[in-house]
Structure 1
C-alpha cells in the first residue's frame, strides 16, 4: 500500500548505469572463433542466456519488492544481504563472482574482437594489423590484442566515475546493437542473395530493435549519443575510405533502394487504371541524341523539365550493332556523361546502342521512365545552322505520334542563353492543345534555378477585330489557371500585312532565353521543313506538339 512511483525522470539514467550488466548474454558472439558450430551455437546460446537472465532478474525484482519497503530500497544498496538466507555470506560472494566473471568475459571477448578486426585488415595501419592479429603459439591466445584492450580499460577506469563510465559503455553497446539491427533489416528488406543467415529472424524485429536502441540513446543523453554517433561514423568513414573495394553500407542501401523502387513501380503499374493518376498530368520525357558531347542544349532542356515537376530520361545514342567493342564504348561514355552532369541534375542518363535512331526510339519509348511512369513526351533536337537531321525527325515524329506521345522539337542555337529575358510563348486562340502544353512547360521550366529571375510572356498575333476578344480569353486562362503570368506579360499583336509571321516573331523574341511555338501534323505534309526555317536571329526554339488537351487547373 505504501508503494509509489518516484524519480520517473531518472529512469533512463538508471538504465544507462545498469545496462552493461545485461550484456553478458552476448559474450558467446565474441567467442565465435572458438566455437565448433557458431552458426548453430550462437543463436541458441544467446537466446537461452537472454531468457535465463530475464527470469533471474524478474524474480530478483519480485523478491526485493515483496521483502523490502521503498525506504529500505532507497537507503540500503545491500538490502539483498539482509533479506536473503545466509545473505551476509552469499551476496558478497555473488557480487565478487559477478564482477570477476564480467571482467573475465571482457578480457576473453575484447581481445578476440580486436584480433579479428586486425586479421581482417580493418585497421588502416598494416603494421598494427600484423601485430594485433598475432596469436601466442602454445595456446592461440591474442596476447597483443589483450594488452591494448587492458590499456583501454585502464583509461576508462582512470575517469573515476562509475556512472559516467557506465553511460559511455552503454552508448557504445546500444549503437552497436542498433547498427547490427539496421544491417539485419537492410539485408532482409534488400533481399540480397548473398545474405543467407543460419539463424533467420523477421525484418520487423530487426527494425524495432534499431529504432528502440537509438530512441533509448537519445533518452539517456543527447551529448553522449552525439559523441557515440560521431565517433562511430568517423571510424566507419575512415575505414571505408581505406578499404574502397569492400562493400559497405552503400551496397546495403543500394539493394534496399532497388527493391523499394521495384515495389513502387509495380504499385504504380497496378494503379494505372486509376483516374487520379491519369488526370494528374506531368511530363515524363525521354530524349535520344548522338550529339551529347558536341552540344548540350537537349540535355539542358530535359534537365530544366525534370528538376522539380517533371521526370526526364536522356539516352546517349551510340551508332552501331551490339558488340563487345560498343559495350566498352558505352561504359566509357556513360562515365564521361555522368561526370559532366551538374551535381543538382535530376535527369537519369544512360546509353543505348543501335544502328539507327529510329530503332533506338522505337525500343526506348516502350519502356517506362525512371520514375515508373510511362513516358509521355519525346524530345527531338537539331542544330539550326545544320538542319541535316530534320528529315529523320519528321519520319520519327510520325512513329512517335502513333503512340500517343507529346513531341517537342528543339532547334538548337549557338547563341548564349540570357535567362533573365524569360520564356516567350507564341499561341493561337484556336490551338488550345498546344497552348496549354506550352504554358505548362513554361511554368515547369521556370522551376529550375537557372530561370529564377525569368518570367513567361505570352504572344498572340491576330486581326484588329479579334484583339479584344483574344486578350480577354488569355487573361481568363491565366487567372483561372493560377499561373504566374501578369497582364503586362500578355501581348496581343495586330497582324501587319507588310510583315510575315516569322518576321514578327523574330523581332519580338530575338533575345528571349527560350521561345516556344506550336505545330501540328499538317505542317509535315510532303516532308516539308519550312516550319523550322527562318528563325536565324533567335536563340533556342522549342516546337511543341500536344497529342491531347492538357487541362490547366
Structure 2
C-alpha cells in the first residue's frame, strides 16, 4: 500500500458483498434448500439476518460515534468493553478471521473439481497422482502460500485491485444462474433419498455466508472516512445480500428436486446456469479468492492491533506481533502467525467442519457488538452521539439471538467456544493485573441502574418494616494512623449492612486542600481494594468536626435506604479525641441516628475469636442493637472461627426474668449464640460495672458495650474511660430499641 488511508464506501460494500455472495452460495446453498426445503431455506436466511442486520446496525452506530482505527471490529470492541474483555473477544474475532482463510482456500479448490473430473475421464494417471489430485490440500496449500506472499508484497492494494473484477464476475455468474433453465430429470433414474438433518445443523454450515458483513470493517484503518463508509457499505451489503439469497432460494427450489439440490458432490448452480460448466466455477474461484485475500488482509491487522494493546502474556511476543513495516505499517509478523493458523485448518480439508467452527467465533463477535450497542443505549452517556442510530431493542435482540443460536447450532461447539473464551480471559486477566479498569460503558450502565434503584426506593411508600439492618457512616480523621475504624466498617457492610467511610480533613476548602483530598481518596480506594471490602469511600474538608458531622448526617445513603448509624473512633491512649463526640452529641441525636464510638487499644481486635456483648439494666434499650451488631460482624470471614458471648449484669431480684427474656430473644431470633455463651453476673458493686467487665472480658477480642445519653450528660467522656487493658470496644447508643424477629 502506498498512500495510507485511501479507500471509500465502495471498498466496504464490495468487500462485504463479495464475501457474502461467495463460497457458501455456490457450494452449500443448494444443499440447504434440498435438505430443509424452500421454507426452511427462507427461514435460514431470515434467522441469519436477524443476527447480521442488528450487528450491521450496531457496527454502523458505534463507528459513527468514535474514530475507528486499525483493527476494525476489534478496535470497536476493545474501546467499548475495555482492554481485558475486549482483547478476549478480539482473539475470538481474530481466530474467526484466520480460520476463514482456510475456509475460503478449501472452497477455492472446489472450483477445480469439474476440471479434475474431466482429466480423470480423458487421461490415465499414476495412483499416487490420482490420490494427490483428489486431495483439497494439493491445490489449497500452494494457493495459500502464493496469496500470503502476494499480500505481503503488495499490501491492501492487491485486494482492492482484484475486488471490482471479482464483483463483475460474480454479477455475470448470478445473471447466468437466474436466466438458466431447470435441470431435466430422467424419470427412469432413481434418486437417493435426502438425509434428515436439523435446520440448525444446516444453519451452522450456511451462516458463514452472512458473516461477510464484517469484512469491510476490517479495512477501517485504510478508509478515508470510516464513520461514513462503514455504515453505508455494511448495511448496503447486508440488505442486498439478503434479497439475493431469497431470490436464489426461489430459483433453486424451482429448478431442481431436493435429491439433486442436497447432493454436495456436484455444484448444482453450474447445472442450472447458462454456460454454468465454466461460469459458476469461475465465479466460485473469483469469490473465494477475493474473500481469502480479504481475510489475509484483515486477520493480521486484527492480531497486530491486539498486540499493540500489549495484552499478550509475553512482552516480547507483543512487540514482535505489533511490529509493522513501511509507511503503511504492514503487519508482517502477524502475517506469519496467521499463515500458520490457516495452514493448520487447511490440512483438515473438511469444508463443513471448518464452517461450523468459524460460525461459533463469529457469533461471539457479533453478540459482543450488539451487546455494546445495547449497553451504550442503556448507559445514556452524553458523549455517545452517533450520527447513525439503531434502537436498543434491536441491539438486545441481536445479542440474545447470537448467544442463543450458538447452542441451537451445536451445543458441544458452543460450550467449547465459551470455555475457550473463559480460559483466554483468565490468561489475559492474570498477566494484565494493571488493566483491570472497568470500561466506561459498564460504569455508565451501573450508574443508570443505581440511579433507577435509588429513585424507585425513594418514591416507594415505606412500609412499617420492623426488620433492621445497619446503614452506617463512619467519620474518622485517623484513617492512616489505625485501620480499626475501616475494618469495623468493612465488617458491618460485608453481608447484612451497608457502609460509608468518610475521612475528615481539618481545614478550609481550597484548590490545594481539594487536591490533597483527592490523593487521600486514592489511597483509601487502594486500601479498600486490597481488603476486598464493600465500603463506599469519600473525604470531607471542614475547619472543625461539627461541620463535618452536620454534613454527614444529611448525606443520602449509597444503598437507597436511609442511613441509620453514625460511628466515630478515638484512641484510648489519647482520651482528648473523644471530646468532639461528647460536645456534638446533641447535634448527632437530632438526626435520629444510632450512635457508636470505637475505642481503640494497642490490643486492637486480638485474634478474632471472641465478641463479648455487655448488657446492663441501665442501658437495656441498647441490648438488641448490640446483639444484632455482634451477629452482623460475626458473618465476616475475619470472624469465621469466632463466637459471640453475651454477658448480662443483673441483680438477685431480676435475674430469673432477665434470663428468660434473653434466652427467649436468642431462641426466637434464631441467633447463632449458644446458651452456654450467655452468662448472668451480679456485680459486687452496682456502681463499678467497669471492674466487672474488665474481670470477665480481659481475654475478649472485641467488646460491645451500651451507653445512654443521660450518663453522657452527667459524666461526659468518663463514660468511655476506665477500660485499660481490654481489646477494642464499640460503645453503642440506640435511638430506639430494635426488634429481633
TM-score (normalizing by structure 1): 0.86
C-alpha deviation, 1:477, in angstroms:
1.3
Which of residues 492, 496, 519 is equivalent to 1:309? 496
- The answer to whether residue 578 in structure 2 is matched with residue 370 in structure 1 is no
DSSP 3-state at the match of 2:653 = coil
Aligned residue in 2 for 1:358: 546
Aligned equivalent of 1:158: 347
Question: Contact 1:135–1:142 at 8 Å: present in 2 too?
Answer: no
When structure 1 is superposed on structure 2, of 386-395 and 211-220 the one drifting more is 211-220
The equivalent residue for 1:468 is: 656
Q: What residue number does 2:536 align with?
A: 348
Change (3 A) 1:339 1:507: same
Measured in 2, the distance between the counterparts of 1:156 and 1:193 equals: 45
1:290-336 superposed Cα distances (whole Å, 9 cap, x missing partner): 11121222112111111111111111222111223223322332233
CA 1:154–1:478 in structure 2 vs 1: closer, same or farther (change >3 Å)?
closer
- Partner of residue 337, structure 1: 524
Q: Encode CA deviations 1:237-260: one digit per residue, 9 max, x unaligned.
A: 699789x6xx98623222222222
Q: Secondary structure at the match of 2:700?
A: coil
1:488 to 1:300, Cα distance in 2 relative to 1, 3 A: same
Which of the numbers 121, 131, 135 marks the counterpart of 2:324? Answer: 131
Equivalent residue in structure 1 for 2:381, among 157, 170, 192: 192
Alpha-carbon deviation of 1:153?
4.3
Q: Which has the higher helix share?
A: 2
User: What is the correspondence of 1:374-389 to structure 2 with a 5 Å cutoff?
Assistant: 374-389=562-577
What's the counterpart of residue 456 of structure 1? 644
Structure 2 Cα separation of the partners of residues 376 and 162 of structure 1: 66
Q: How many equivalent pairs are there?
A: 541
Q: Once the two structures are superposed, what CA deviation does each residue of 1:106-147 show, in whole Å capped at 9, x if it has no partner?
A: 4246525745875898365557545356449xxxx9999878
1:76-95 aligned at under 5 Å gives the runs 78=266, 80-81=268-269, 84=272, 86=274, 89-90=275-276, 93-95=279-281
- Note the residue ranges of structure 1 that are not aligned, 5 or more in a row: none
* Aligned-residue offset at 1:261: 1.9
Give secondary structure in 1 for the equivalent of 2:566: strand
Deviates more, 1:231-240 or 1:58-67: 231-240
Q: Which runs of 5+ in 2 are unaligned?
A: 1-34, 41-193, 311-317
Once the two structures are superposed, the pairs formed by residues 225-244 of structure 1 within 5 Å of their partners are 225-226=417-418, 229=421, 233=425
Q: Does the residue aligned with 1:388 lie in a helix, a strand or coil?
A: helix
Q: Deviation digits for residues 456-501 of structure 1, max 9, x if unmatched?
A: 2222222212211211111111122111122222222234248722
Contact 2:601 2:727 (C-alpha < 8 Å) held by counterparts:
yes
Change (3 A) 1:365 1:530: same
Q: How does 1:30-69 map to 2 (within 5 A)?
A: 30-32=218-220, 38-65=226-253, 68-69=256-257
Q: Would the aligned equivalents of 1:177 and 1:213 in 2 still touch at CA under 8 Å?
A: yes
Distance 2:680 2:232 in 1: 82
Q: Larger relative CO (CA 8 A, sep 6+): 1 or 2?
A: 2
Indicate whether 1:107 and 2:293 are aligned. yes
Structure 1 residue 399, shift from structure 2 partner: 0.7
Q: Which residue of 1 aligns with 2:457?
A: 268
Partner of 1:207: 396
List per-residue Cα deviations over 1:321-379 (Å, max 9, x = no partner): 12232233223322333333443322222222221111112112211233233221000
Q: Could you tell me whether the CA contact under 8 Å between 2:323 and 2:333 is conserved in 1?
A: no
Instruction: Give me the CA root mean square deviation.
Output: 3.5
From 377, 389, 392, the equivalent of 2:580 is 392
**Cα pair distance change 1:358/1:168, threshold 3 Å:** same
Which one of the candidate residues 611, 623, 627 is aligned to 1:423?
Answer: 611
Inter-CA distance 134–150: structure 2 relative to 1 (3 Å threshold):
farther
- C-alpha change, 1:42 and 1:256, in structure 2 (3 Å) is same
Q: Is the 8 A contact 2:570 2:577 kept in 1?
A: yes
8 A contact 2:606–2:701 mirrored in 1: yes
In the alignment, the residues of structure 1 paired with residue 307 and residue 625 of structure 2 have an alpha-carbon distance, to the nearest angstrom, of: 59
Greater mean alpha carbon deviation, residues 510-519 or residues 89-98: 89-98
1:195 Cα deviation from its structure 2 partner: 2.3
Contact 2:646 2:679 in 1 (8 A): yes
Task: Give the whole-Å Cα distance in 1 for the aligned partners of 2:309 and 2:483.
Answer: 45
1:502 correspondence with 2:693: no
**Alignment partners' CA distance in 2, 1:3 and 1:162:** 19
Q: Distance in 2 between matches of 1:477 and 1:199?
A: 64
TM-score using structure 2 length: 0.65
Report the CA distance shift for 1:495/1:231 in structure 2 as closer, same or farther (over 3 A).
closer
Give 3-state SS (helix, strand or coil) of 1:458's partner: strand
For residues 572 and 321 of structure 2, the distance between their equivalents in structure 1, rounded to whole angstroms, comes to 65
